[in-house]
Amino acid sequence: MTQYMPLFRSCSNLRLVTQLHAHLLVTGRLRRDPLPVTKLIESYAFMGSPDSSRLVFEAFPYPDSFMYGVLIKCNVWCHLFDKAIDLYHGLVSEKTQISKFVFPSVLRACAGSKDNLGTGKKVHGRIIKSGVDEDAVIETSLLCMYGQTGNLSDAEKVFDGMPVRDLVAWSTLVSSCLENGEVVEALRIFKCMVDDGVEPDAVTMISVVEGCAELGCLRIARSVHGQIMRKMLDFDEILCNSLLAMYSKCGDLFSAERIFEMIVTKSSVSWTAMISSYNRGGFSEKALRSFSEMLKSGIEPKLVTLYSVLSSCGLLGLIKEGKSVHGFAVRRELDPKYESLSPALVELYAECGRLSDSQTVLRVVGDRNIVAWNSLISLYAHKGMVTEALCLFREMVTQRIRPDSFTLASSISACENIDLVQLGKQIHGHVIRTDVSDEFVQNSMIDMYSKSGLVDSACTVFDQIIHRSIVTWNSMLCGFSQNGNSLEAINLFDYMYRNCLETNEVTFLAVIQACSSIGSLEKGKWVHCKLILSGLKDLFTDTALIDMYAKCGDLDTAETVFKAMSNRSIVSWSSMINAYGMHGRIGSTISTFGQMVESGTKPNEVVFMNVLSACGHSGSVEYGKFYFNLMKSYGISPNSEHFACFIDLLSRSGDLKEAYRTIKEMPFLADASVWGSLVNGCKIHQRIDIIKAIKNDVSDIVTDDTGYYTLLSNIHAEEGEWEEFRRMRTAMRSLNLKKVPGYSSIEIDQKVFRFGAGEEYRFGTEEIYRFLGNFQNLTLEADYYRLTNDKHVIDSNSHWLVRAM
């Protein structure tokens, strides 16, 4: 048989293998000798013909365990995992001694599919029974199998039971953690590996570098880079490209550029990595310059390079350059059927306003690349072009292009409006019929129903989800909080906390907002405590806490939170200014505004709105005029809300003529909020003559603000103008508007009690009214005593004046 081994090695194609097979068949060597049969099985599989391998195997009358092992290994090569496992079951049924050579291949077959985890565990049991569980290759294969099927706990048990842990075992466990998204655990294991004295090689370091890139922590990234430098590992192109991508994902573009300059011979992969890094960092112009330098250096760009460059052109709105890149791809025939570049081309033309060209690309692509369709639908939804997004979705369905979960989620997101919720329900029905639903789609439906005000429908979707991730819990929590269902939001958070479910910054933001809405100070403090213990405090949660404490009446704690912040955004400053304003602290408001400007933070529209509101609360007209005029110095044109707030300030102070003059000088037509501020001021100061003078202006306005119609109708009722009163109420009914009843809330013994206007049947109502009656009597007695005392003082002063005269 040894004379045929060189012949097997020289077979460079399937035809030569077939000829050798025929020769062996004619000479009769395949009937009794298992060695040439085994080599033929291996050769056919190597040439990409696993079916021929199986036929050779089945033709041999007495296959041994080794031959089974070779065929199993060949099927694994060809990714025929189920067939490999079937062969293993056949070998087991033979009840012969199984060679340990078989087990690594079978375990790799089990690792090829999570559905075969049960089979893998049975194989593990047989390995233990066979007494080969301490074989290093088998142990590493078990690590791979458990890691690739997502069963990290069992992988770690196998690792902990290994008597000798070499570099391959450590690297396998690190890679398994990274593949399953457990980046922090992977880095912890890597640290243990280094502490254990095992020297990592370049392959391990590449995995660790990629993990740091996913984590996005610059401090850890630099530490790993330092480890590579200390170990004097060769900085080959693959490692450098990984480091480059790591630094760009961690936001350190300068270090990424330095790594790029270290690469002596830059390939298209290196250039593409640098171009992608510039895009990721928002430096699209540098990305285009790098592409130009790449072409000048004679490096031929790949499809992925062109994809990044097209994205740069789209972000910069450079349609001419984008079409040039498109033409380059066409001339080089890099993507003749647009199967790879179509999403980038669709985004390029859409970003540049060439929607017809985007749709032309889609027509060419057809159903070959659903990502292109998804890109345009998502872009439409993001830009608020909901009609176009939904029309495109309908066209997909009409052309029998099966939408995937991303298509459905983007289309559902486009329906986040009460006017489009019926279309959203139809897409929901499509999801149920086609059974194309995953967590992404379910969360989008919860979000859509919540933003449309249909919290009950959102709850129905939420209740039907069996496995809920933190995103699902947060979606429902935010839905409750945003729709005023604050108690439900707090109860849901309590459930999450009691059951030790995962929480993050978004979770705490939603529950803090809920506490703020109902003024629950004690609950807010409790949430604040849990936030500190969780270690999730950040800029956004601190800003939310400032707002919560201010609205709950605890301005001192709001100040404490603000002063403890190491970094402050424009939103943080704005929240503190608003907090002082709602408590009438105009001096602190002005002082905080000055500190913000001195810190280098430029005020925006919201900051000025909060300052004007503070002036309104304190009645500081002069300050209000100053800051209203100051807006222009910062390049800010007052919008309708600024004018409404300023008019309200002037009107409440009695300067109605100035308020009316300001309205007439507005650069745009005044809306209901502006006129409403003036009318309210006229009502306060009993200037019905002005109301009559502006009657035509205020009567022709159509709005969905119930307060505006209620104010006008009440004024007409007070003046006995019942016809106008009925006209206002009719206008409200025709627009399906209802007066929102006012309410007050108070927290007693960590319970929030709400009292709504017109509501009579409340807990403790009789006791409350009895107390108010007694309080009124006490007040009258106090007033009588004060008046009597004042009269006595006046009489005394009169006698003193008489004596002085």
The amino acid that residue 519 corresponds to is G
Mean pLDDT along residues 558-573: 92
Q: Which pLDDT does position 489 carry in this prediction?
A: 94
Domain boundary among 350, 365, 380: 365
355 shares a domain with 270: yes
Mean pLDDT along residues 777-787: 55
382 shares a domain with 324: no
532 Cβ contact partners less than 8 Å away, ≥ 6 residues apart: none
Give the model confidence (pLDDT) of 173-211 as tens digits: 898 888 888 888 988 998 899 888 888 888 888 888 888
More confident residue, 774 or 487: 487
Q: Which pLDDT does position 179 carry in this prediction?
A: 87
Tell me if 240 is assigned to some domain: no
Of 28-37, 70-79, 259-268, 323-332, minimum mean pLDDT range? 28-37
Tell me if 91 is assigned to some domain: no
44 Cβ contact partners less than 8 Å away, ≥ 6 residues apart: 14, 17, 50, 52, 53, 56, 74
How far, in Å, CA of 375 to CA of 337, rounded?
Answer: 17
354 shares a domain with 275: yes
Q: Which pLDDT does position 612 carry in this prediction?
A: 93
444 shares a domain with 408: yes
How far, in Å, CA of 326 to CA of 340, rounded?
Answer: 12
Mean pLDDT along residues 302-308: 90
Q: Which pLDDT does position 448 carry in this prediction?
A: 92
Q: Is the pLDDT of residue 615 over 50?
A: yes
Helix or strand holding residue 689 (H, E): helix 688-693
The amino acid that residue 292 corresponds to is S
How far, in Å, CA of 357 to CA of 349, rounded?
Answer: 6
Q: Which pLDDT does position 637 carry in this prediction?
A: 92
How far, in Å, CA of 335 to CA of 310, rounded?
Answer: 14
Helices and strands, number each (H, E), in the chain? 46, 2
Q: Which domain holds residue 308?
A: 266-365
Report the length, in residues, of the chain: 805
Q: Is the pLDDT of residue 57 over 60?
A: yes
Mean pLDDT along residues 18-43: 81
Q: Are 323 and 352 in contact (CB under 8 A)?
A: no
What's the longest Cα–Cα distance across the chain?
150
355 shares a domain with 403: no
Enter the tokens of residue 702. Answer: 């159509």
Enter the tokens of residue 460. Answer: 């129905």
How many of the other CB atoms lie within 10 Å of CB of 229?
A: 10
Tell me if 695 is assigned to some domain: no
Domain boundary among 318, 337, 365: 365
Give the model confidence (pLDDT) of 355-376 as tens digits: 888 888 888 887 777 888 888 8
| Whole-Å CA distances, 447 to 52, 402, 460, 645, 800 | 54, 23, 12, 32, 76
Beta-ladder partners of 744: 755
Residue in this structure with the two tokens 């004295």, named with its chain if needed: 197
Q: Is the pLDDT of residue 61 over 60?
A: yes
Q: DSSP for 695-739?
A: HHHHHT---S-HHHHHHHHHHHHHTT-HHHHHHHHHHHHHTT--P
Mean pLDDT along residues 587-612: 93
793 Cβ contact partners less than 8 Å away, ≥ 6 residues apart: none
How far, in Å, CA of 690 to CA of 676, rounded?
Answer: 13
Mean pLDDT along residues 364-393: 83
Mean pLDDT along residues 787-801: 39
Q: Is the pLDDT of residue 561 over 90?
A: yes
395 shares a domain with 316: no
Q: Are 650 and 657 in contact (CB under 8 A)?
A: no
How far, in Å, CA of 356 to CA of 503, rounded?
Answer: 44
Q: What is the CATH number for 458?
A: 1.25.40
How many of the other CB atoms lie within 10 Å of CB of 269?
A: 17
Q: Is the pLDDT of residue 33 over 70?
A: yes
pLDDT band of residue 799 (cuts 50, 70, 90) is very low
Q: Is the pLDDT of residue 805 over 50?
A: no
Q: Which pLDDT does position 587 carry in this prediction?
A: 92
How far, in Å, CA of 173 to CA of 144, rounded?
Answer: 8
Mean pLDDT, the chain, whole residue set: 84
458 shares a domain with 385: yes
Tell me if 184 is assigned to some domain: no
Tell me if 716 is assigned to some domain: no
Tell me if 437 is assigned to some domain: yes
Kindly state the percentage of the chain with pLDDT values over 70. 87
In this structure, what is the dihedral angle of CA atoms 306, 311, 317, 323, given to the nearest 10 degrees? 30
H-type alpha helices, 366-502: 370-382, 386-398, 405-413, 421-434, 439-451, 455-464, 470-482, 486-498
334 shares a domain with 277: yes
Q: Is the pLDDT of residue 788 over 70?
A: no
381 shares a domain with 328: no
Write 711-715 long-range contacts (CB < 8 A, 24+): 711/676, 711/679, 711/680, 711/683, 712/679, 715/679, 715/683, 715/688, 715/691
403 shares a domain with 333: no
Q: Is the pLDDT of residue 265 over 60?
A: yes
Q: Is the pLDDT of residue 787 over 60?
A: no
Tell me if 516 is assigned to some domain: no
Q: Is the pLDDT of residue 801 over 60?
A: no
Q: Is the pLDDT of residue 406 over 60?
A: yes
How far, in Å, CA of 223 to CA of 245, rounded?
Answer: 16
Q: Is the pLDDT of residue 24 over 90?
A: no
Would you say the C-alpha torsion 232, 238, 240, 244 has a positive or negative sign?
Answer: negative
Would you put residue 663 in left (φ > 0), alpha (ψ -120 to 50) or beta?
alpha
Tell me if 639 is assigned to some domain: no
Q: Is the pLDDT of residue 48 over 80?
A: yes
Q: Which pLDDT does position 445 carry in this prediction?
A: 93
More confident residue, 70 or 725: 70
Give the model confidence (pLDDT) of 666-718 as tens digits: 998 888 888 888 888 888 888 887 777 777 777 666 666 676 667 777 776 77
More confident residue, 156 or 749: 156
Backbone angles phi, psi at 173, to 5 degrees: -65, -40
* Domain count along the chain: 3
Domain boundary among 342, 365, 388: 365
356 shares a domain with 375: no
298 shares a domain with 351: yes
pTM as predicted:
0.66
Mean pLDDT along residues 535-559: 92
DSSP, collapsed to helix, strand or coil, labels residue 166 as coil
Q: Which pLDDT does position 592 carry in this prediction?
A: 94
Q: Is the pLDDT of residue 558 over 90?
A: yes
| Whole-Å CA distances, 791 to 99, 546, 780, 783, 805 | 114, 48, 16, 12, 21
